[in-house]
Amino acid sequence: MFVTVCKDYDEMSRKAAAMVARLVRAKPDAVLGFATGSSPLGLYQELVRMHKEEGLDFSRVTTFNLDEYCGLPPDHPQSYRYFMNENLFNHINVPMERTHVPDGMAEDWRAHCAEYEEMIRQAGGIDLQILGIGSDGHIAFNEPGSSLGSRTRRVFLTRQTIEDNSRFFERKEDVPTSAISMGVATILEARTCVMVVNGTNKAEALAAAVEGPITSMITASALQMHPDTHVFCDEAAASRLTMREYYDWISHQMEADG
Ligand code: GLP
């Protein structure tokens, strides 16, 4: 894993967005994987800025989101489809029909999950997957104990995740208890993974993911098996990393090499 510690959230967002932009310029029909949550919001704002001010062109891009709450329709303000439209898709020139978010209202969720995996395959696989991390170390909604070989499926959220995500809902009881989520193995197939992590409440999860053992109890740790994962974090999130000095040194070498 390549770990870049940034001075703050803005720098983290800019550096991660720059990786996305570089790919889209080099491969205009790139397949991008997106995540929701507060961590990638700045990254999305930066992509919108680059689209508006620098003409970054998303017209041939295809996108797949990691997950969606079960039971929330796309027009529900807390649904991940709504989040993506509001924070990114409505502000760039990606054709809406090329954006994919799992359908949390699917009646036959098994068939829907298989179809979602198939659509990713048909699109040629995900070139770059954006990720956040849950405070319990999860990626997408792959909660502790999720198989590292898991594929897109219906998952049940932990009490911790429901608690964490309740800040977006009026009442804790309103937070859905299950979701459709890409699996760990689905995510590991992306050619490049970019994880953005900020804040002290993520410090332990990040240290466990990057420096701890590979374990289904911290599903982000599976990224250690991925050949091209880039972590962009702020100082607060980096505070528990023991190899911090080494990561800084590598980052400087890589910047110098262009
Ligand atoms: C949810 C999402 C994850 C996200 C996590 C952290 O659980 N399914 O994809 O990484 O929240 O969210 P935040 O960035 O708001 O802390």
pLDDT by residue (tens digit) across 45-74?
999 999 999 999 999 999 999 999 999 999
Asked if residue 222 lies in contact with residue 182, where contact means CB atoms within 8 angstroms, the answer is: no
Say whether 138 is catalytic.
yes
- The confidence band for 76, taking pLDDT boundaries of 50, 70 and 90, is very high
Cβ 35 under 6 angstroms from ligand 1? yes
Testing ligand 1's pocket by substitution, the residue of 9, 13, 36 carrying the most ligand atoms inside 8 A of its CB is 36
Quote the ligand 1 centre to 164 CA distance (angstroms).
9
DSSP string, 166-193: GGGSSSGGGS-SEEEE--HHHHHTSSEE
Round the average pLDDT of the chain to a whole number and report it.
97
Closest-lying ligand 1 atom to the alpha carbon of residue 37: 15
What is the gyration radius of the CA atoms in the chain, in angstroms? Answer: 17
User: What percent of the chain is modeled with pLDDT above 70?
Assistant: 100
Q: Which of 138, 164, 230, 234 is catalytic?
A: 138
Pick the CATH number of 2-257 from 3.90.78.10, 3.40.50.1360, 3.60.20.10, 3.30.2130.10: 3.40.50.1360
Index of the ligand 1 atom closest to the CA of residue 199: 16
Tell me, what's the pLDDT at 257? Answer: 84
Domains of the chain by residue range: 2-257
Answer whether 16's CB lies under 8 Å from 234's CB: no
Tokens of 58: 């998303």
List pLDDT tens digits, range 6-49.
999 999 999 999 999 999 999 999 999 999 999 999 999 999 99
Ligand 1 touching residue 129 (CB < 6 A): no
Q: How many CB atoms lie within 10 A of CB 95?
A: 12
Three-state DSSP at 145 gives coil
Look up residue 244 and give its two tokens: 């911090």
> Measured in angstroms, how far is the CA atom of residue 135 from the centroid of ligand 1?
8
- Model confidence at 181, pLDDT cuts 50, 70, 90, reads very high
Catalytic residue among 68, 117, 136, 234: 136
Taking the CA of residue 202 as reference, the ligand 1 atom at the shortest distance is: 16
Determine if ligand 1 sits within 6 Å of the CB of residue 109: no
Contact 157, 71 (CB under 8 A): no
CB proximity list for 244: less than 8 A, separation 6 or greater: 5, 238
Largest CA distance in the chain: 52
Given this model, what pLDDT does residue 71 score? 96
For residue 140, how far is its CA from the centre of ligand 1 (angstroms)? 7
DSSP line for 196-239: EE-SGGGHHHHHHHHHS--BTTBGGGGGGG-TTEEEEEEHHHHT
| 59 Cβ below 6 A of ligand 1 | no
Does the structure show a pLDDT above 80 at 258? no
Q: Can 248 be counted among the known catalytic residues?
A: no
What distance in Å separates the CA atoms of residue 36 and residue 59, rounded to the nearest whole number? 21
Closest CA to ligand 1's atom 12: 37
For 209-245, the pLDDT digits (tens) are: 999 999 999 999 999 999 999 999 999 999 999 999 9
Q: Which residues contact 194 (CB under 8 A, 6 or more apart)?
A: 16, 19, 20, 128, 129, 130, 131, 229, 230, 232
Q: With a cut of 80, say whether residue 124 has pLDDT above it.
A: yes
Q: Is 140 in the pocket of ligand 1 (CB under 6 A)?
A: yes
Q: What distance in Å separates the CA atoms of residue 210 and residue 221, rounded to the nearest whole number? A: 6
The size of the chain, in residues, is 258
